[in-house]
Amino acid sequence: MKTSWPFSARSVLAVLAVVGLLTASCGNDDSATTPTTPTGPATEVFSGTLDVQGSSFYSFTTSTSGTVSITLASLVATQPGPALNSVLGLAVGAPLGTDCNVTSSINAAPGLTAQLTTTLSPATYCARVYDIGNLAASVNFTVRIVHP
């Protein structure tokens, strides 16, 4: 007695064809994506002379919202040194007329890590450094601003 296999050759081939099509399409994630141009933070350095009881500010513009870091990096009486560690005022705000309208401020000694960080929207701002009463003579300062 002979038993027929329930699948004909044609049926088997059809199933295999379906399996083959599914396998070929599986994992095919070649979706074209538009490459984005990475925009890194910008670094600006401004230097100047700060007089006793004086102040100085520097305007900068942020292109996108993000973190702004301001570092009072250097304070010397004469270049290149010795470096001073006098505590000055360091602030950020928006330019107003011929000055900087401060919104955030701290008192800090010079260093190489940001003493003032804040999150800002795209706009024009200013970083201000000023004598809080600790200077006995004019000094040369350098401030670094890192912003988006």
107 touching another protein, by CB under 8 A:
no
- Site for another protein (CB under 8 A): which residue of 13, 42, 45, 96? 45
Give the C-alpha separation, 144 to 132, whole Å: 20
39 touching another protein, by CB under 8 A:
no
113 touching another protein, by CB under 8 A:
yes
Of 60, 69, 76, which Cα lies nearest the Cα of 113? 69
Cα distances from 107 to residues 64, 82, 87, 128, in angstroms, run 27, 21, 6, 11
Of 83, 95, 113, 87, which Cα lies nearest the Cα of 58? 95
Among the candidate windows 94-102, 110-118, 120-128, 131-139, which touches another protein by CB under 8 A?
110-118
- Site for another protein (CB under 8 A): which residue of 67, 87, 142, 148? 142
Min separation Cβ 87 and another protein, Å: 14
